[in-house]
Amino acid sequence: MTRPLRYSQPRRNGVVGHNAALQQADVIRSKGLLVTSPAFTWTDLASVLSLDDLVIAGDSLLRRQDAPQRGGCFPMPDPLCQLSEVREMVARRTGIRGRSAAVAALDLLRAGVDSAPESRLRLLIHHAGLPGPEINQWITGSDGRAISCPDLQYRRLRIALEYEGEHHLLDPAQWHRDIERDERLRQLGWVVLRFTKQHLRPENRAGTAEKVRFALSARGWQPGWPA
């Protein structure tokens, strides 16, 4: 629980109390409760999360407006805030614990991500020293018709990366749409790489990175080159 500096520190059983230099914009109302804003809360998390988890939490604030509905009951529409708001908050909160982690995470945040697994896949690619892909950008045909919006892509090299959540396999209609989507891309000369949660497990990460590296190299990319 957090209170402004002018108040005493909260003291309740089961509650960790904090005081912070809160401005009016740092407090919002959600379902009748006063809570700190998304950007303020994210900077608080910098002292307790790993770098990757902090980036994933930050990406979650910046999801695209038409992202799939969040799980559970969450009343605020996407995006929860803008990247500029997060940057301004980090610049303002100079004395907080974990600020160096927040500064490091800022450069890895990306707007428009749909889900945590997509962020984990992108970070896996980053840690492997591979070039960063574009996120959720539409691919169009020669007639301007929208073909597909891959989770991640290397547009110049025509490589699309799709993370397949379990609902893709459990929903026959969704599975059919995925197959048709990938076939349309392949007809345009794209390579489509598909990933599941198994690819993100620690013991499989090296193989997953190599899968992406091989596809890049097969399309003419060389280490040190942008994609």
Task: Please report the domains of the chain, with CATH numbers, ordered by start residue.
Answer: 2-106 (no CATH), 116-218 (3.40.960.10)
Does residue 203 carry a pLDDT above 80?
Answer: yes
Average pLDDT over residues 59-75: 83
Q: Which amino acid is at 107?
A: D
Range of lowest pLDDT (9-13, 87-91, 108-112): 9-13
What was the pLDDT predicted at 165?
A: 83
With contact defined as beta carbons under 8 Å apart, do 125 and 117 qualify?
A: no
Percent of the chain at pLDDT above 90? 67
Q: How far apart are CA 202 and CA 52, in angstroms?
A: 13
Mean pLDDT of the chain: 90
Nearest alpha-carbon partner for 108 in 71, 140, 135: 135
What was the pLDDT predicted at 100?
A: 97
Burial class of residue 87, CB neighbours in 10 A (0-12, 13-18, 19+): middle
What was the pLDDT predicted at 67?
A: 85
Q: Which residues pair with 153 in a beta bridge?
A: 134, 160
Residue 223 preceded by cis peptide, ω within 30: no
Residue recorded with tokens 């209609």: 173
Q: Kindly report the pTM of this predicted structure.
A: 0.87
Q: Which residues of 124-145 are buried (b: 16+ CB within 10 A; e: fewer)?
A: bbbeeebbebbbbeebeeeeee
Average pLDDT over residues 53-75: 87
Q: How far apart are CA 53 and CA 104, in angstroms?
A: 12
DSSP string covering 85-111: HHHHHHHH-TTSTTHHHHHHHHTT--T
pLDDT tier at 173 (50, 70, 90 boundaries)? confident
Q: How far apart are CA 69 and CA 167, in angstroms?
A: 13
CA end-to-end distance (rounded Å), the chain: 45
With contact defined as beta carbons under 8 Å apart, do 30 and 75 qualify?
A: yes
